[in-house]
Structure 1
Amino acid sequence: MAKKSSIQKEMKKGKLIEKYNKKRLEIKQQIKSVNNFKQQIYLQKQLQTLPRNSSKIRLRNRCWLTGRSRGFYRHFGISRHVLRELSHQCLLPGVRKSSW
Structure 2
Amino acid sequence: MTEPTAEPTALPDRLSSDPASPFYNEELLSRGIGIRFKGVEKTNVEEYCVSEGWVRVSVGKAKDRAGNPMTVKLKGAVEPYLREPSAEG
**Structure number, greater radius of gyration:** 1
Answer 1 or 2: which has greater helix percent.
1
Answer 1 or 2: which has greater strand percent.
2
TM-score normalised by length of structure 2: 0.23
Structure of greater relative contact order (alpha carbons < 8 Å, 6+ residues apart): 2
